[in-house]
Every structure is written in C-alpha cells, then in structure tokens.
Amino acid sequence: MQITGQQVVLASRPDGAPKAENFRLEKVTVRPPGEGEILLASRYLSLDPYMRGRMDDRKSYASPTPVDGVMEGEVIAEVIYSNHPDFTVGMHVLSRSGWSSHCVSNGDGLIPLDDRFKPITTALGVLGMPGLTAYTGLMNIGKPAPGETVVVAAASGPVGSLVGQIAKKAGARVVGIAGGKEKCQYVGETLGFDEVVDHRSPDFVSELAKACPNGIDVYLELVGGEVWNAVFPLLNPYARIPVCGLIAQYNANDSQKGTDRLPVLMREILSRSILFRGFIVREYWDQRPEFLDEVAPWVASGDVRFQEDIVFGLKNAPEAFMGLLEGKNFGKLIVQFD
C-alpha cells in the first residue's frame, strides 16, 4: 500500500495578517498503518479563528505550531483501513489531525460520529466545537434571564448564531451584530433575532445603542476591537461577558499606542459589578453529552438553524482561512478535501 497525500504546513510565522507565503502545500507519502492502527482519509476540515494564535510563537493555552509543522485543526475523517478492533472501514470520526489529507492513528482521541450528525459537517459546526462553545459559554457564564438583553457579535457565524438562538429559547431579547446586508438579513429573518445591527454601518455605535434601549446584560465576546468599544458603554450593572474569542485583534501587534483603556475598564468593572470570564471550550468538555441531547434535536427539527460555508480543496484552505479573519465567510467555514 502506497498512498500519496497532501498537507498544509506553516511555512513561516505571519507578521500581522497571514499571507499566502506563510502556508505551504506539500505532498507526503503516507505510511501504512501498523498493528492496532487505522488509516484515516480526511473528508472535511474545520477552519476556526483560534488557528491564528497557533501561528504565532507565543505561549497561550496551547503550544504554537512549529514552523514546517502541519497546521492544526479538527477534521471529519473516514476510516479507510483498520487494524483496530474498535474501528471499522467506513466509520466517520472526529480527529485532530490537522490540515492533512490522511492520518495514521492508534485510535486515541478519536470521536466516532453517529447518525445524530446530519449532515455530517454539523459535527464541525453547530453540533461541534463552535456549538459547544456557544452552549457552554451561555449556560455557565452568560446565564441569560427572561427579558434580559443578550448581544451577540459575529451573529451569522457558528458560535454567535447558536448563542442567539439558545438565548431566545431562554426568553432573552437578542440583538445580533453582523457585517454586511446579506448576513444581517440572515440573522434577522432566518435566525429570528429581535434586532440586527451592521457593524460596517457608519452609525454602528448609535444604532447598537438604539437596538438596546434597556442596555446589555450578556455579551458573548468573540471579536473585540470596535464592536467592544460600542458594547462597553451599554453594559448594565451585573452584566456578564463570557470571553471566548477576539478575532478583531488576532492579527494585531501587542503594543498598541494610544489611550490606555485599561483604567476605565477596571473602573467600570468595579462600579457596574461586571463579570468577565474567559473560557476555552475544553473546560466544559464533560457537558458535551448534555449539549448534544439538547441541541441535536433542535437542529434535526429545523428549530435551530445553521449556515455552512464549504470550500472545496485543501489547496484553497489558506485563502479561506485568511478570509475568515476578515469576516469574508458566511457561516461555519469548512474545507472539503478533494
């Protein structure tokens, strides 16, 4: 058995926004699986904002990807050869095997996908890591009460869209923020948010204030940047801010000159009794069964809607990823392997 696969490696570390030259598509020879091993063929790759952090040489909650190392990521893969009793050919699994067409695995860490995932790509989006992020961040930290105002940025994306839909079910008034007419229309009409504000509007700040006449009680922070500046003055006493993403600042350098916003932030945390809590979804991994039990039926019934943006071909992953950081995707961004 001789298989030639392909993979995308980190060619060099980006300075600011990633460029095509920071990625390299390589051909690789896949070794045959040994005893107790299986061979996986990747079908779908999830592209997510957190990957930007791994490209920097900076310790974070996870180690950086080494230069010349395969770009990290979660894939849906199919077992195409098995020397392992627990995995049969044709099975689909979630695997953290990265931007790579194949993977030899001993089975550790693989998550078999059952027929609750329809279509199977939902395992990367609304029923996957982004969905679990939305659900656990809202339930454990945001805790919206009926009648409260929940604001969701990146509202057409996989995390924001689910946060808003679950918050609606909890009886909250939900205001979405998205970029551009098409996304805003989707958020308002298809997802049924109470209000939508376009962050590209020149009057974004005042439009957000107008959409939140009773202030903001929960803001799930996914983006940072200018959206945060507009949200901050509207926060009510006892507002809760689950922080799980900062896409607007991932490409920025650390030392930003200008006004130091920290003293005012701290003062307002104090005087408005605000809660901030960062979280990484793995903290709540043990809530995945309950999440799937609750949300999968909503997805199956069409009660919860989702949007996927599927790009064909691994060679197009770098460009798609660069677009993700600029909000060019519409819905959960997924690469289908060729």
- Contact footprint for a copy of itself (CB under 8 A): 53, 60-61, 221, 224, 228, 237, 243-246, 249, 252, 254-280, 283
Cα–Cα distance, 35 to 16 (Å, whole number): 44
| Shortest distance (Å) from residue 19 CB to a copy of itself | 22
Amino acid at site 189: E
**Closer residue to a copy of itself (CB): 232 or 298:** 232
End-to-end CA distance of the chain: 20
Identify whether the C-beta of residue 167 lies closer than 8 Å to the C-beta of residue 312: no
Q: How many CB atoms within 10 Å of residue 196?
A: 24
Q: How many CB atoms within 10 Å of residue 240?
A: 23
66 secondary structure, DSSP code: P
* H or E, element range at 324: helix 317-324
**Closer residue to a copy of itself (CB): 324 or 334:** 324
| Shortest distance (Å) from residue 327 CB to a copy of itself | 18
**Closer residue to a copy of itself (CB): 103 or 248:** 248
Identify whether the C-beta of residue 154 lies closer than 8 Å to the C-beta of residue 177: yes
Token pair for 224: 């940072």
| Shortest distance (Å) from residue 64 CB to a copy of itself | 12
| Shortest distance (Å) from residue 213 CB to a copy of itself | 18
**Closer residue to a copy of itself (CB): 5 or 278:** 278
**Closer residue to a copy of itself (CB): 41 or 275:** 275
**Closer residue to a copy of itself (CB): 202 or 258:** 258
179 φ, ψ (degrees, to nearest 5): -110, 110
| Shortest distance (Å) from residue 224 CB to a copy of itself | 6
**Closer residue to a copy of itself (CB): 258 or 289:** 258
| Shortest distance (Å) from residue 283 CB to a copy of itself | 6
Cα–Cα distance, 262 to 292 (Å, whole number): 38
Token pair for 310: 């599927």
**Three-class DSSP labels, 179-228:** CCHHHHHHHHHHCCCCEEEECCCCCHHHHHHHHCCCCEEEEEECCCHHHH
| Shortest distance (Å) from residue 252 CB to a copy of itself | 6
Identify whether the C-beta of residue 121 lies closer than 8 Å to the C-beta of residue 104: no
**Closer residue to a copy of itself (CB): 239 or 324:** 239
| Shortest distance (Å) from residue 246 CB to a copy of itself | 6
Among 300, 313, 327, 279, smallest CA distance to 134 is for 279
